[in-house]
Structure 1
Amino acid sequence: MIRFQTIPRLALGMGMTCLALNAAQAGEMTTQTPSVEKQRFGQLPDGRKVEAYHLRNGHGIDMTVITYGGIITSLRTPDAQGNVDDIVLGFDSLEGYRSDAYRQSNPYFGALIGRYGNRIAEGRFMLDGTTYELATNDGPHHLHGGDKGFDKRLWQAHSFENDTGVGVELRYTSEDGEEGYPGRLDTRVTYTLTADDEVIIDYHATTDKATPVNLTQHSYFNLAGEGSGSIVDHRLMLNADAFTPVDDTLIPTGELRDVAGTPFDFRDATPIGARIGEENTQLVYGQGYDHNFVLVRDDASAGELVTAARVVAPQSGRVLEIATTEPGIQFYSGNFLDGTLIGKGGDAYEKRSGFALETQHFPDSPNQAGFPSTILAPGETYESRTVWRFSTQRDDNAS
């Protein structure tokens, strides 16, 4: 069983190279100073203000986080030629995240997800002899915290600068009974943009009653630049030798299935689209990839950072590497994007125009005795860390 543990605050060291910029741009960027800037982003119907925090690391990476949903609205990084593009899907205004079109499709662009990331079967679980009923907002199932999960809540925030980098700390208290969950959950999430071209996401939560907790971040990436088209040519490596197959409603069966010999084997870097159209029941159920992968770790590494994924965009040369303390990662290939949402650049977000890699405990764990437990008890502390590291490479075929 995976227990919640204290995660050391150390920068990720995975033997990766930093962003490759040409000399002129590198010289210009070294004169910049890491900074945090706070601006108004909008206002909710009840009059509460939504703030945006712009983080810059001085190397050409900047990120914007808003207090509504803890959403990362933009993340700009240089490509292998030094050209800077926004690589996450989203909108320029608060209205984009609250429009009728967005609510109907609800892709969770860039949002913090809680109390429970992913699905809980039939919106129901039993804990300490009591059955809890949750919203069924994904067909017959509960998804990403319910009708008004953490992605639709206003978080309290403050910015900081320290030896690691610049960042913003977000806090939200979910009251006992919110969305059907037991216990008051005090949650803190910290985004840190480092001088090593990393985004560190730290999660922290405590409760006064036993409750399931599974927090994650739901950014959609396109490493060629948001709005630039399909991501099926991106080369993906997943450090996973098993995945959790699902039924036709995307609820795990409880099996841990070996990826060997299947379209789910990304242990060697493979284009996302290479096998996505194969005749495979799991691909049919997900309309592509929408599955939890079981990360390779040994008993000694429980609660420690392990490499989870590496993605390379061949045209831009951008590289995203992910490490996490979580036991799983949900790979979603943007199968349900359908062009109805118009993004920041005025381009429609078509099918597979972005991918998500959500570090997590497993879906439906409260109903799956064989999965790592997601129950947080009073007196325990939920702590989790995920690190995104950005770099570039000029060899399109490198893995």
Structure 2
Amino acid sequence: MTKLLTLTFTAIFMTVPASTGVTAEEAATSTRLHTLKNSNGMEVTVTNYGAIITSMLTADRDGNLADVALGHRTAAEYIAASEKPYFGAVVGRFGNRIAEGTFTLDGETYTLATNNGDNHLHGGNVGFDKVIWDVKSASDQSIHLTYVAKDMEEGYPGNLSVSVTYTLTDENQLVVDYAATTDKATPVNLTQHTYFNLAGEGNGTVLDHEVMLNADRFTPVDSGLIPTGELRSVKDTPFDFTSPKSIGRDIETENEQLALGKGYDHNWVLNKGVSATELTLAAVVYDPATGRVLTVSTTEPGVQFYTGNFLTGTLTGKSGKTYSHRGGFCLETQHFPDSPNQPDFPSTILAPGEKYESQTVFAFSAR
């Protein structure tokens, strides 16, 4: 069912300055929550502010439900938090980083916000995570949201029409379908930025979670977390998750790349061929304490595995518990970071007359 955010949410939203991407009028009249439910009791709640997944109730091995998605308690906290973790949001127009906030396309140089040190991150100051999306349709198990990014919005060329559809199946799969068209060539790289803790949000770190990544290579980065252009083998490095291992096993290993990311915050090159678009296994994550399993498949060529390295314990989650350092992990299915400046990476340029289509499936089970 679709409902207005609580009175507390709406009242606080009305004080938000327009520089956040949301006007007072939009906040008061247009923000909604929608809960998807399946026959097994799984629930996923979405808001049209940022197309954010605000909660995800899934069962453990004993059938007990818990919210495994990190998030804020009120709408105001999504906007005003001193830390900007992008909890649950769809990020774009370009997810991840673009070096020095600039790229050249068809002979013209475009300048973007540098909102992550010297670099551009997740679409800029007012990316897709900070705008009101239109709800075009909604049912018990699906919601379809759209947004139109104007030409030169956040410095990007072209009027870009974007949609995201969340569908919750009776097989406990959350299917995320993205689509976009443009009237001018432009980079597009959309992803979903949910932080997961399969023990339940706020229940400690994820260091004991066991992870398998279907990737023999990753893209090493420089000090600004911009890929160097190399596709490096994971063999004999802490980045080898080709067989399941705990997140914590190697995360403190002395390693230049781990030091640069303050842990894992890198793009893995999925074993599918960089131009392939078929739905392919990306990752499997298992929590031994609860038995919950998350399996991620995607049509994208890469996945950013991030281990909550910049969570500091200052944010309080929905259950009233603080989110500790490494209290969540992300699996951001994507094209590679800085692709507009890396000609050897799969292209992220969408041209007029073409259609951007991407799918990611988050499947939940227990053992």
Alignment TM class, shorter chain as reference: over 0.9
Aligned to 1:139: 117
Establish whether residue 320 from structure 1 lines up as the match of residue 263 from structure 2.
no
**How many residue pairs were aligned?**
350
Q: Distance in 2 between matches of 1:52 and 1:358?
A: 23
Q: Distance in 1 between matches of 2:77 and 2:102?
A: 31
Q: Distance in 1 between matches of 2:47 and 2:91?
A: 14
Cα offset, 1:346, TM superposition: 0.7
Once the two structures are superposed, residues 159-215 of structure 1 have per-residue CA deviations (whole angstroms, 9 ceiling, x without a partner) of 444xxx811001000000100000000001000000111000000000000000000
Aligned to 2:106: 128
What SS class does the counterpart of residue 292 from structure 1 fall into?
strand
Q: Is there any run of 5+ residues in structure 1 with no aligned partner, and where?
A: 1-36, 394-399
Amino acid at match of 1:38: T
Alignment equivalent of 2:342, drawn from 358, 368, 373: 368
Establish whether residue 82 from structure 1 lines up as the match of residue 63 from structure 2.
yes
Cα offset, 1:298, TM superposition: 4.2
Establish whether residue 110 from structure 1 lines up as the match of residue 125 from structure 2.
no
Q: Are the equivalent residues in 1 in contact too, given 2:210–2:245 (CA < 8 A)? A: yes
Aligned to 1:12: none
Alignment equivalent of 1:234, drawn from 184, 206, 209: 209
Establish whether residue 65 from structure 1 lines up as the match of residue 46 from structure 2.
yes
Q: Are the equivalent residues in 1 in contact too, given 2:196–2:330 (CA < 8 A)? A: yes
Aligned to 1:95: 76
Q: How does 1:174-323 map to 2 (within 5 A)?
A: 174-298=149-273, 302-323=276-297
Q: Distance in 2 between matches of 1:79 and 1:149?
A: 34
Q: Distance in 1 between matches of 2:36 and 2:184?
A: 35
Q: Distance in 2 between matches of 1:298 and 1:210?
A: 25
Q: What's the RMSD between the two structures over aligned residues?
A: 1.1
What SS class does the counterpart of residue 97 from structure 1 fall into?
helix
Once the two structures are superposed, residues 225-283 of structure 1 have per-residue CA deviations (whole angstroms, 9 ceiling, x without a partner) of 00100100000000000000000110000000000000000000000010000000000
Establish whether residue 155 from structure 1 lines up as the match of residue 133 from structure 2.
yes
Cα offset, 1:303, TM superposition: 1.0
Amino acid at match of 2:111: E
Cα offset, 1:350, TM superposition: 1.1
What SS class does the counterpart of residue 105 from structure 1 fall into?
coil
Amino acid at match of 1:63: V
Point out 4+ residue stretches in structure 1 off by more than 2 angstroms. Answer: 42-45, 158-161
Q: Distance in 1 between matches of 2:219 and 2:174?
A: 27
Q: Is there any run of 5+ residues in structure 2 with no aligned partner, and where?
A: 15-23
Percent of aligned pairs with the same residue? 57
Q: Distance in 2 between matches of 1:67 and 1:93?
A: 14
Establish whether residue 355 from structure 1 lines up as the match of residue 349 from structure 2.
no
Q: Distance in 2 between matches of 1:249 and 1:179?
A: 21
Q: Are the equivalent residues in 1 in contact too, given 2:273–2:301 (CA < 8 A)? A: no
Aligned to 1:8: none
Once the two structures are superposed, residues 98-157 of structure 1 have per-residue CA deviations (whole angstroms, 9 ceiling, x without a partner) of 12xx2x320000000000000000000000000000000000000000000000010001
Aligned to 1:24: none
Q: Distance in 2 between matches of 1:361 and 1:106?
A: 22
* Comparing 43-52 and 272-281, the one that deviates more: 43-52
Q: Distance in 1 between matches of 2:222 and 2:319?
A: 37
Amino acid at match of 1:83: N
Cα offset, 1:60, TM superposition: 1.6
Amino acid at match of 1:137: N
Cα offset, 1:224, TM superposition: 0.3
Amino acid at match of 2:238: P
Amino acid at match of 1:191: Y
Q: Distance in 1 between matches of 2:189 and 2:273?
A: 21
Aligned to 1:172: 147
Q: Distance in 2 between matches of 1:98 and 1:171?
A: 20
Aligned to 1:387: 361
Aligned to 1:341: 315
What SS class does the counterpart of residue 85 from structure 1 fall into?
strand
What SS class does the counterpart of residue 383 from structure 1 fall into?
strand
What SS class does the counterpart of residue 204 from structure 1 fall into?
strand
Q: Distance in 2 between matches of 1:176 and 1:366?
A: 18
